[in-house]
Amino acid sequence: MASKHSSRSDEILFRGTWQITSTDVWGDDALGDLGPPILSFGPGRRGELRFLAITASVDYRVATRDGEPIAEFSWEGDDDGQRISGRGWARAIPRGLAGRILIHEGDESDFVAKRLAKARG
């Protein structure tokens, strides 16, 4: 089924910073080479991705697929000094997010993430 634009409340569902806790391709020890592996969704459909040796900016859209809200994203950044890009998607699950990250002309993996607590000021 084709994606449809989603509601503002669906966008809020994804907003924030999520720690990638596991993937089916990359081991936990490699995921955090640059600190905790994260995927964030912020204002203006912008976010951040950090995992393995990759740091990247994220451009995302929230849509509905098969009746469920989904965040679809593309990303572009740096992998140990080399330009790198890819895409992915995430959906809400009871304990966080589940989705897939794809590296352009490279690996792809399912992932699970949990919401990081907001810092208190």
Number of other residues whose CB lies within 10 A of the CB of residue 16: 15
64: three-class secondary structure by DSSP: strand
Share of the chain above pLDDT 90, in %: 75
In this predicted structure, the answer to whether residue 78 has a pLDDT above a threshold of 90 is yes
Name the phi and psi angles at 14, rounded to 5.
Answer: -95, -20
Mean of pLDDT over the chain: 90
List Cβ neighbours of 31 (8 Å cut-off, separation of 6 or more): 20, 23, 37, 51, 52
- The structural domains of the chain, ordered by start, are 4-115 (2.40.128)
* CA distance linking residue 6 with residue 67, whole number of Å: 10
In this predicted structure, the answer to whether residue 55 has a pLDDT above a threshold of 60 is yes
In this predicted structure, the answer to whether residue 92 has a pLDDT above a threshold of 70 is yes
The pLDDT value given to residue 58 = 98
Q: What is the pTM of this model?
A: 0.87
Q: How confident is the model at residue 24 (pLDDT cuts 50, 70, 90)?
A: very high
* CA distance linking residue 12 with residue 16, whole number of Å: 8
Q: How confident is the model at residue 1 (pLDDT cuts 50, 70, 90)?
A: very low
* CA distance linking residue 68 with residue 85, whole number of Å: 26
Q: How confident is the model at residue 32 (pLDDT cuts 50, 70, 90)?
A: confident
